[in-house]
Amino acid sequence: MPGYTQDQHVFAVDTPLGKDVLLLRSFRGTEGISEPFDYQLDLLAENPVNVQFDKVLGQAVTVRFRLADGSLRWVNGVCYEMEAGARETLEAENKTFTSYRVRVVPKLSLLGLVHRSRVFQQLSVPEILEQLLAGISHEARLTATYDAREVCVQYRESDLAFASRLMEEEGIFYTFEHSAGDHKMVLRDRPVGAFDPLPGGATLIYEALVGGTRDEDRVQAWRKRQTLTRGKVTFRDRCFEMPTNDLERVESVLPQVVAGTVTHKLALANPEARELYGFRGGHVKPYDGVAPGGGDQSGNLQKIFTYGTQRAKVVMEREDARAVVADGWSNLRQLASGYTVTLTKHHEDNGSWVVASVQHAGSNAMFRSGGDDFSYENAFVCLPSAARFRPARVTPRPVARGPETALVVGPPGEEIFVDKYGRVKVQFYWDREGQKDASSFAWLRVATALAGPGWGSYAFPRVGQEVLVAFEDGDPDEPIVVGAVYNAQNMPPYRLPDTKRRTGLKTKTTPQGKLHEFHELFFDDSKGKEQVYFQSQKDFHRLVKNNDKLQVGVRNGDEAIPEGSQEQELHRNRTVNVKLGSDVLGVGIVVKPQSWKDDQPPPTPYLWGQGAPAAQTDAPVRSASDSLPAKGGNQAVYILNDRTVDLKYGNDALVVGSQAVKKASPELSALQHGNQTVEVANDRTVTLHAGNDKLTIEKGNLDVSLPGAMPGGKVTISAATSIELKVGTSSLKIDQTSVTLSLPTRSVKLDTGGVEIKTTTGSVKVTDSESSVSGITSKLSGIAKAEVSGSAMAELKGAIVTIGGGITKIG
């Protein structure tokens, strides 16, 4: 621009439009430790220059300061905002200009335009900052050691807010170093001695200004103040992996700090009473005793104690830094934040100070060659160099206002992925970088109805389910699964609203279970169709450590006998073991087995609803007018193949229609029943290894019939010692040596010695060596022939011997 230049002016600006296309008329700017600088430039462009915004916005802009010693200082940044103003005519030049306003900020400020949510895992804060500051010239001059955090969430916040929040939490602060055309962000964490001397003149002369102006570079005003601060910081936190440890960390204020030549006491007026107590302290969440893959890393939990002390110390140092503060104003153009200066010629505050913040205001005069009129002033804040410095906590932590839903994730092929605490992994729906696998997030605890030491409820969300996630204290870094929700992919088990009256639990076989492979328990509250349904996909193990009572068809308050049946269907085997005590089955009658003692006879049964005998008063009661059931009280047993009953000890008794029962329960006498029918399609075998077998028929007959129509028709009865049949006083006995038929006055015996027939008055005995007949009268006759003979001798004796016949032959 002919005739208009900034070369000789104290303040100048360089823009992408070229040299002196835009002229710096005035500016205001602010800068501070851990603050993005912000300069508002008032610029002029001579008409008819056409300034295009897109040539300036987002581009580098540099403001040049010429200092008192002739050296230069730069403030470099990017154009964040540009505004075209009115046209102006300069009085002396009679030239028209268009005014512009440009806002210059560091590249760091542009991170405020990036707003997102994402998850960082297994990274330390400096490592996270490296990712956030990519593309920004920066240098980390850090001295502390930083552990990796299990998870760190950027939650609905800008990259700038996220980076600032992390640095404030850890006590990391930053400043900027400027050059012609560039600027660099410098990160520091050393609380004392971290800053370099101010370039361009670190010695500041204090000389109070009383009215008017002064051309010499001086500190023209200086005020120092001390404020009561907190005297103690106490952080407490809770780690569920160390539930009995309160993890409390305490730090106290420094006793004193030197500001200039004055020592200021900080531990004043009962400082312990001014306590900052924080719960949760935040020193637990970076650590986990379980590795991301589920392995053990419990050694990391010990780092909680060290980190808790560090966090409490950072907060206490933040308090110390602001206990003693000096502010003032000057015309020192070299003054910049993040450097140390030495104050001189003050009555008590001479010494080393750190420039914490500066507000600049300057302007140029006319732009003709040789014009160098200008004005400049600044306001500043300084802190004692001996004070421990930490950045102020000004960036709020984002708060999750309510629960969110997320997807349960895990390694490929896993349907249930949990750690030893039953925690799961999820991917939030806002997470664009997660791969929906085990690396999507850290372990999340799962809320349950009960959680005791070794007991409680347990149901673990499975991979692919949508769960409801809440946040402890609204902290995005502290999510917890509180439930699960259905969606269009994961629908309820039954069609709704048709089955809205059901309440239940249905699981699925895993891994690779099919739709029909599940366990289920549901309750159907439909009026008149109420039911409880249970299914076990495979085995069902029920353990009852004391009594087990099953009542079917019993309804409290019913006046009539209720309906109620039970059906059991077993496709394989069934085993019932009664190890101690007895087994009682009542069909159509009621028996109370709890009254049956080992040394007593079985309990007396009674009809349902008739009331129990004296000792069994807890039976259901029925009115006397109720009649006995016309049918019922029957039992049928059908066995397709074999049946084995093995009694190791004791007896086996089957009583059908027992008279004892009828006597104890007169109502049973009206039941003309008591029959037993046993039908066996094929073979039947009964084996008693020890003891007796007894069949008693008090009334009635015993009929054993082999009709002969079927193959066989044979009856075989075998005994080791004897077999005896009795009818009244008559009997038939078979033992190992004889067969005896006994009648009331007669008997027949066959043994190895012969045959003997006895009556009350006589006998017949036949042996291998002798035959005899005795009696009051003995008669030997034959229709055709009767013969008495002997090989050696035949003898007939008697008082009277009569031999007669048509032909009688003797000899």
pLDDT interval class at 618 (50, 70, 90) = very low
Q: Supply the DSSP string of 14-30, one letter for each residue.
A: E-TT-TTTSEEEEEEEE
Q: How far apart are the first and last CA of the chain?
A: 188
Q: Categorize the per-residue pLDDT at 509 as very low, low, confident or very high, splitting at 50, 70 and 90.
A: very high
- Distance (Å) of CA 391 to CA 152, 169, 320, 355: 20, 9, 11, 13
Average pLDDT over residues 774-788: 68
Angstrom distances, CA of residue 84 to CA of 1, 95, 681 = 19, 18, 111
pLDDT (average), residues 384-396: 96
Residue type, 504: G
pLDDT at 693: 76
Q: How many CB atoms lie within 10 A of CB 628?
A: 15
Cβ burial of 93 (10 Å; 0-12, 13-18, 19+) is middle
What is the pLDDT, as a whole number, of residue 510?
A: 94
Q: Report phi then psi at 166, rounded to 5.
A: -65, -45
Query: Picking from 469-483, 515-529, 778-792, which range would have the lowest pLDDT averaged per residue?
Result: 778-792
Question: Nearest to residue 42, comparing CAs of 28, 61, 54?
Answer: 28
| 411-439 b/e (C-beta count within 10 Å ≥ 16 → b) | eeeeeebbbeebbbbbbbeebeebebebb
Task: Enumerate residues 6+ apart whose C-beta is below 8 A from 336.
Answer: 31, 73, 198, 199, 355, 358
**Own/partner pairs for 82-89, CB < 8 Å, 24+ apart?**
82/53, 82/56, 82/57, 84/51, 84/53, 87/47, 88/44
More confident of the two residues 534 and 654: 534
The maximal CA–CA distance of the chain, rounded, in angstroms, is 198
Domain positions in the chain: 11-106, 228-321, 404-485
Percent of the chain whose predicted confidence (pLDDT) is above 90 = 62
Q: What backbone phi and psi angles, to 5 degrees, belong to 667?
A: -60, -30
The distance of Cα 769 from the centroid of its chain, to the nearest Å, equals 100
The rounded distance, in Å, linking the Cα atoms of 81 and 101 is 8
Q: What is the mean pLDDT of residues 94-111?
A: 94
What percent of the chain stands above pLDDT 70? 81
* Class level of CATH domain 11-106: mainly beta
- Average of pLDDT values for 202-223? 85
Please state the φ and ψ torsions of residue 300, each to the nearest 5 degrees.
-65, -25
pLDDT digits (tens, 9 = 90+) for 260-303: 899 999 999 999 999 999 999 999 999 999 999 999 999 999 99
Task: Give dist(CA 810, CA 796) in Å, integer.
Answer: 11
618: left (phi over 0), alpha (psi -120 to 50) or beta: alpha
pLDDT of residue 645: 74
Three-class DSSP labels, 767-799: ECCCEEEECCCCCCCCCCCCCCCCCCCCCCCCC
C-alpha 214 chain-centroid distance? 73
d(Cα 488, Cα 66) in Å, to the nearest integer? 69
> What burial class does residue 736 get, using C-beta atoms within 10 Å of its C-beta: 0-12 exposed, 13-18 middle, 19+ buried?
exposed
- The three-class DSSP label of residue 737 is coil
User: Considering only 123-127, 344-348, 728-732, which range has the smallest mean pLDDT?
Assistant: 728-732
The pLDDT, as a whole number, for residue 697 is: 74
Task: State the pLDDT confidence band at 623, using cuts at 50, 70 and 90.
Answer: very low
Pull the structure tokens for residue 452. 């005791």
Question: CA angle at residue 67 from 62 to 72, to 5 degrees?
Answer: 40
More confident residue, 494 or 600: 494
CATH topology (fold) of 404-485:
OB fold (Dihydrolipoamide Acetyltransferase, E2P) (2.40.50)
CB 192, CB 388: distance < 8 Å: yes
Three-state SS string over 297-333 comes to CHHHHHHHHHHHHHHHHHHHHHHHHCCEEEEEEECCC
Name the amino acid, one letter, at 95: K
Split at pLDDT 50, 70, 90, the class of 206 is very high
Instruction: Answer yes or no: are the C-beta atoms of 1 and 46 closer than 8 Å.
Output: yes
One-character DSSP codes across 385-412? TTS-------SPPP---S-EEEEEE-ST
pLDDT tens digits for 677-687?
777 667 777 77
Q: In this predicted model, what pLDDT tens digit does every residue of 632-665 receive, in sequence order?
A: 667 777 777 777 777 666 666 666 665 555 555 5
Looking at residue 758, what is its pLDDT?
84
Cα radius of gyration rounded to whole Å, the chain: 56
